[in-house]
Structure 1
Amino acid sequence: MRFVSWNVNGIRACVKKGFLDYFHKVDADIFCIQESKLQEGQIQLELEGYEQYWNYAERKGYSGTAIFTKIKPLSVSYGVGDLDTEAEGRIITLEFESFYFITMYTPNSKRDLARLDERLEWEDAIRTYLLQLEQVKPVILCGDLNVAHQEIDLKNPKSNRGNSGFTVEEREKMTKLLDAGFVDSFRYKYPEKTDAFTWWSYMSKVRERNIGWRIDYFIVSSSLADKIGDAQIHSEVLGSDHCPILLELEQ
């Protein structure tokens, strides 16, 4: 099976920059987006053969997620229990016969770390949620998780240490999640690969010089690790400040 995740930084703008060309070319079984930045009825995507599931933020032009799937899920849910995620449209969970699939847009801690405490509470709630699902069947989590886990995952780790997305606290939460029985699919396949990034600042020449961060992930239950066929970063695909990532799982 082929899965794709992409923070499109506004799906309407991304469509004007070639989103549909990439969507049809990659031909994923499940394709998900984060930061859709719209409300219901503001776009009509004609995606023949795909079911569409959208989670819109209440705030206009902000956040939001969607999943497009060729396989009809057994169930669909939005948000996580008591966690106040519905207002920002950050999580969609699809249940399939042999796995759960979740797309997620993790809250940014903000430049001044004003949202760090909330972010850490989010991380704990998400880990608990994933472990609950994992007791039933394996889990595939993907999306913009807003953290570069290790120094290898960003171009300038020394100058960014302590900054949003590279704080000790955020990185420790990712380590705790992986230690709980999950695998970072890209690092599983390519543990030493450098200069592999999924997000670049819009500052001049930053993307051309590949001064980036790897903050988009496919995280899977460790029971699925030996089924990972490939994990790719499609950095050549433009249209957003993030690029798409791909996971291939053998059935």
Structure 2
Amino acid sequence: MKLATWNVNGIRACVRKGFLDFFHEIDADFFAVQETKLQAGQIELDLEGYYQYWNYAERKGYSGTAIFTKHEPLHVSYGFQDGEIEPEGRIITLEYPAFYLVNVYTPNSKRDLTRLEERLEWENKMFHYLQELDTKKPVIYCGDLNVAHQEIDVRNDKTNHGNSGFTREERDKMTRILNNGFIDTLRFFYPDRDDIFTWWSYMKTIRERNIGWRIDYIIVSSALEKCLESMEVHGDILGSDHCPVSLELDLSKQEINI
């Protein structure tokens, strides 16, 4: 089973820059996207063989998530609970017989940290949401989580301590998730690599020099550890200021079926 996730920073623009080429090339069972930046009816994607699930933000041209999947889910929910009004379109959860897939675009705490308190409240809700799901069946939690967890996840970590996405408070929230039954799949395969990033500023030559942050993740319940096959960060794929991330799992190792 293959899962890909990508913050496309505007899916209409990303489509013009080659999104569909990568989409068809990777041929994922599940393809999660964040920051779609559109409303219903503003794009038609002809993705033969895929079910499409969208969560649009109320604000035009802002936020939003989607999942394209070859496998019809048992249930789809938006937000932290069924029926919740989730105005920024940041969460989609697909339920399958043996696992949940949770696609998330985590709120940014803003450059001046004016949204940090709201961000930390979000993190608390997300932690309890993942814990609740995990008591029922394994969880795959993916998306742009807007935090660089460790110093090796930021090229210039010393000058970025305390900045949005690299505050102690935000990093501690990620640590709490990983200390309570979840695995950061990239660090599972590459525990010490300090040159793997998923986001780069649009400033000139920044991406070419790989001065980036790792803020896009695929995190899984510990129950899926034996199923982990490979993890890849597709830094050569352009079209957004983020790059795609993909994970392959062999669910048969846990006698799990989609």
Question: Which category of TM-score, normalised to the shorter sequence, fits these structures?
Answer: over 0.9
CA distance in 2, matches of 1:49, 1:89: 24
CA distance in 2, matches of 1:116, 1:84: 22
CA distance in 2, matches of 1:82, 1:123: 19
Partner of 2:45: 45
CA distance in 2, matches of 1:41, 1:90: 18
Partner of 1:104: 104
Per-residue Cα deviation, 1:197-227 (whole angstroms, up to 9, x for no partner) = 0000011110000000000000100111121
Preserved contact between residue 5 and residue 246 of structure 2 (Cα < 8 Å): yes
Preserved contact between residue 83 and residue 125 of structure 1 (Cα < 8 Å): no
Structure 1 residues 11-90: aligned runs within 5 Å: 11-81=11-81, 86-90=86-90
CA distance in 2, matches of 1:201, 1:162: 18
CA distance in 2, matches of 1:186, 1:250: 16
Q: Do the aligned partners of residues 85 and 183 (structure 1) sit closer, same or farther apart at CA in structure 2, a change above 3 Å counting?
A: farther
Q: Match of 2:18, as an amino acid?
A: G
SS in 1 for 2:93: strand
CA distance in 2, matches of 1:78, 1:207: 33
Per-residue Cα deviation, 1:131-169 (whole angstroms, up to 9, x for no partner) = 100010000000000000000001000000000000000
Per-residue Cα deviation, 1:8-65 (whole angstroms, up to 9, x for no partner) = 0000000000000000000000001000000000000000000000000000000000
Tell me how many residue pairs correspond in the alignment.
251
Q: Note the C-alpha offset of 1:83.
A: 11
Partner of 2:137: 137
SS in 1 for 2:219: strand
Preserved contact between residue 104 and residue 143 of structure 1 (Cα < 8 Å): yes
Per-residue Cα deviation, 1:160-185 (whole angstroms, up to 9, x for no partner) = 00000000000000000111110000
Q: 2:243 matched to 1:243? A: yes
Q: Do the aligned partners of residues 215 and 191 (structure 1) sit closer, same or farther apart at CA in structure 2, a change above 3 Å counting?
A: same
SS in 2 for 1:148: coil
Q: Which sections of structure 2, spanning at least 5 residues, go unmatched?
A: 252-258
Q: Note the C-alpha offset of 1:81.
A: 3.1
Question: Which deviates the most, 224-233 or 44-53?
Answer: 224-233
The TM-score, its normalising length taken from structure 1, stands at: 0.98
Q: Which sections of structure 1, spanning at least 5 residues, go unmatched?
A: none
CA distance in 2, matches of 1:242, 1:120: 23
SS in 1 for 2:66: strand
Which segments of structure 1 move beyond 4 Å, counting only runs of 4 or more? 82-85
Q: Note the C-alpha offset of 1:82.
A: 9.3
Structure 1 residues 177-188: aligned runs within 5 Å: 177-188=177-188
Preserved contact between residue 9 and residue 240 of structure 2 (Cα < 8 Å): yes
Q: Note the C-alpha offset of 1:122.
A: 0.4
Percent of matched pairs sharing the same residue = 66
Partner of 1:10: 10
Structure 1 residues 124-163: aligned runs within 5 Å: 124-163=124-163
Root mean square deviation of aligned Cα = 1.2
Q: Note the C-alpha offset of 1:85.
A: 6.5
CA distance in 2, matches of 1:184, 1:228: 11
Partner of 2:254: none
The TM-score, its normalising length taken from structure 2, stands at: 0.96
SS in 2 for 1:87: coil
Q: Match of 1:118, as an amino acid?
A: E
Q: Match of 1:230, as an amino acid?
A: S
Structure 1 residues 151-230: aligned runs within 5 Å: 151-230=151-230
